[in-house]
Every structure is written in structure tokens, then in C-alpha cells.
Amino acid sequence: MSAYQSWGRYPRVEQDARLLYWRHQPLPLAGFDGPVLAYGQGRSYGDACLNAGGVLLPTRRLDHFIAFDPQEGLLRAEAGATLAEVLAFCLPRGFFLPVTPGTRYVTLGGAVHELRGVLTPLLSVAETLQSQAGEAAPDGRVLRRHLPRLLDRLHLLRDLLEDMRDFAQVTPRERTPELLAGLVGEALHLVQDWFAARHLDLSPIRFEIQVPDTIIVPVCRLPVLMAIRNLLKNAIESLATGPTTFRAGSVRVRAALVEAWAVLEIADTGAGLSPDELAEIQEFVPGRCSLKLHGSGFGLPIAHRKIRDHGGHLAIASALDEGTTITVTLPLGPQEDDSYADQRPTTVRTLRPGRR
Ligand SMILES: Cc1cc2nc3c(=O)[nH]c(=O)nc-3n(C[C@H](O)[C@H](O)[C@H](O)COP(=O)(O)OP(=O)(O)OC[C@H]3O[C@@H](n4cnc5c(N)ncnc54)[C@H](O)[C@@H]3O)c2cc1C
């Protein structure tokens, strides 16, 4: 029995593990033509890293850093290095990873593999369509079944990549005076357009917008617009009853001035969160606690980061089956905390994704 398991330690399977030591050496597969699978840290849920009856290639010994360019923030490393090792190397040099999962004990190979979870079904649908294209009379039923899946996956992939980019992007230091009511109105339009483009009917949802048109906030427009849009999208999705249906409920947006702050409250009467879910979601780690049907798990962490970059705060109150209220506070003038965005490029920079 191999000692190589997945995070849940189940199932236990027989597999022949052949360790990799040097990246230039040929794979130790002479005479074997069965199924072969790479193994990182075994932190994947389920059996993604198990290969019953086949050969497993543990990669942990392939943990060397190959090159580092401090000007570009570009690190080349072997696939078996863990995010913890990358952080131990790059943090003292003033760099941080643009995106991190909920555990740092995963290998680079295992982390990159995650995108394959989206790409693999895409490939299989594309292969089905290709085989139909070769038929004299393509089967309309097959096309009708597979093309929507293909489009759905492509949208998902595009959204995911955009979210990753938005999360990693540093907030510019420029601030312009913006009408809060204008930002909320535009964010609501963006979000309603997003649902309309997917033919999702939001008519059961009542929107109550009470934002005085006297509140002006000094912000970098796009990141704050993005933050409000994400929070509204989450509020709407909390009322989903299925992939395309929503139940009756409300999304209420209110704003007020409290001393030197603009306070914006986004409250829904949706599914709400249990205390455990609330605790997890308040860590603002992308990809965690994805309770939504259309989400990548980046929306709230992006909003939190963009608000924090403005010296603001984001607080969450939620009760299961009652709803969630997000309270965003934005300073009306420059704040000491706001220097975060100015300092980040010089103190802690993010490593860049490499080009092949
Ligand atoms: C506590 C915890 C928190 C987590 N939080 C998050 C999170 O916030 N966001 C998120 O997205 N995920 C999260 N995960 C999931 C985790 O990031 C993934 O499962 C990741 O793939 C695990 O990496 P690993 O090195 O352990 O890979 P393994 O579990 O060993 O392998 C995972 C898959 O990657 C493949 N693979 C591994 N190395 C290579 C390689 N060199 N070349 C090709 N394929 C390879 C394997 O064949 C397998 O299919 C979390 C997991 C845990 C346990």
C-alpha cells in the first residue's frame, strides 16, 4: 500500500510511487505504459491525486528555485516547490504571491493544476463537437446539448481569470471626488446587465436604493465601482434557489455620513451564513466558502481589498435563513491607512505570472 493519500485520506488505493529527483532526468517509466499521475502534497480533496493501479510520480523532491529576477518579480521554480517555500524565499525580498489558497502547503504543480479543473471539461466538449463536425450529418441534439456547456465553461474561465487579475491588481494612488449615489447606480446597472446577459430573471427581487446624492467620496473610481458591484452581485445571488431561479426577497442599499466617514450598507434577505461560514468568509481568502452558483469565490475578497486600499473597512453581519448585511465605510478625506496603496509597490510587490 502506498503512503500517498489525498487530503481526506480516502479512498486508500494501491499505487506504485516512483519519486522524481531531477528535472532533467527521464521519467522512471521504462516498460510501463499504464496510467501515470503527478503527486504534489496530496492536499487536493477527493481522489484527484490518486492513481489506483497506476504509477504515481511524487514531485516533492523537485523543489529547486531555478532563477529569480527581482526587477521583474519573476521566479522560476520546479513544480514540487510549495507555496510556503516560495513565500519563505520571496517575502524577505519584499515580494508576495498575487493569489494564495487557504493553505500554503500545496506545490506549484498542484496549484497550477486547479485551472485544469475548468479546462478538462472544455477539452472533452470540444472533442465531442469536433467528432460531430466530421460527420456527414452532425447530430443537432448533440450540438444543442454540448454548445451551451462549452459557452458556460468559457464564461466561467473568463470570469475566473478576470477575478484573479482584479484581485492581484494594485489600486492606483490617484483619488477623484465621486458621487456615492452615482457609483451605486452604475454598479447596480453593471450587475443587472451581467444577469440579463445570462438570461437570468431578477424580477422576484425588490431593489431599494436610498443613497443621498450629497455624499462625495475621494476614491479611485474603478476599484470602488468593482467592489460595490461584487457586493451587489453577492446580495442578489444569496436569493438564488437554483442555477436560473431566484426567490422573492429584497436587496437594500442605504448610505449615510457618520463623522468623517461615508457608510454604505448593502443588505439582502437571502440565505445568510452560519457562524462557521461567516468566520470562514471573514478571512477574505479567494476561493474559500464558495456558496454561490455562479461565483469563483473572488468577489468578496476583491471588494475587501479594494475598500481596504482606500483606508476603508468592510464588515459582515449575517444570520442563516435571514440574510446578510455588508457595511462599507469609506473615509471622506485622506487617511493614514490609505498609504497602503502607495507603499505596496515599494515595500511588498507581487510576483508576476511567468511567460512560457
Ligand atoms: C486546508 C486547505 C485549504 C485549501 N484552500 C484552497 C483555496 O483557498 N483555493 C483553492 O483553489 N484550493 C484550495 N485548496 C485545494 C488545494 O489548493 C488544491 O487541491 C491543490 O491542487 C493541492 O495541491 P497539491 O500540491 O497538494 O496537489 P495534489 O493534491 O498532490 O494534486 C492535485 C492535482 O494536481 C496534479 N498535480 C500535482 N502536481 C503536478 C505537476 N507537477 N504536474 C501536473 N499535475 C500535477 C495531481 O495529479 C492532481 O490531479 C485547499 C486545500 C486544503 C487542504
- Structural domain boundaries of the chain? 115-168, 176-342
Mean pLDDT of 208-223: 96
Measure Cα distances from 113 to 5, 40, 44, 79, 219 in Å.
17, 10, 10, 10, 37
Question: Does the pTM of the predicted model rise above 0.85?
Answer: no
Q: Retrieve residue 289's grid coordinates.
A: 466558502
Q: CA gyration radius for the chain?
A: 24
How far is ligand 1, taken at its centre, from the CA of residue 48, in Å? 8
Percent of the chain with pLDDT over 70: 88
Percent of the chain with pLDDT over 90: 53
In tens, the pLDDT along 75-115 reads: 999 999 999 999 999 999 999 887 788 889 999 999 887 66
What's the pLDDT band for 355 if we cut at 50, 70, 90?
very low
Which atom of ligand 1 is nearest to 108's Cα? 25
Residue 129 has pLDDT above 90, yes or no: no
Q: What is the mean pLDDT of the chain?
A: 86
Domain at 176-342: CATH architecture: 2-Layer Sandwich (3.30)
Candidates 10, 41, 78, 107: which one to mutate for ligand 1, based on the most atoms within 8 Å of Cβ?
107
267-278 residues labelled b (16+ CB within 10 A) or e (exposed)? bbbbbbbeeebb
**Higher pLDDT among residues 192 and 2, named by residue:** 192
What's the pLDDT band for 288 if we cut at 50, 70, 90?
low
Residue 191 has pLDDT above 80, yes or no: yes
Residue nearest atom 42 of ligand 1, based on CA coordinates: 109
**Higher pLDDT among residues 34 and 207, named by residue:** 207
- Chain length of the chain: 356
Residue nearest atom 48 of ligand 1, based on CA coordinates: 49
Residue nearest atom 21 of ligand 1, based on CA coordinates: 110
Lowest-pLDDT choice from 41-45, 183-187, 232-236, 247-251: 41-45
pLDDT for res 336:
54
Q: Retrieve residue 332's grid coordinates.
A: 471622506
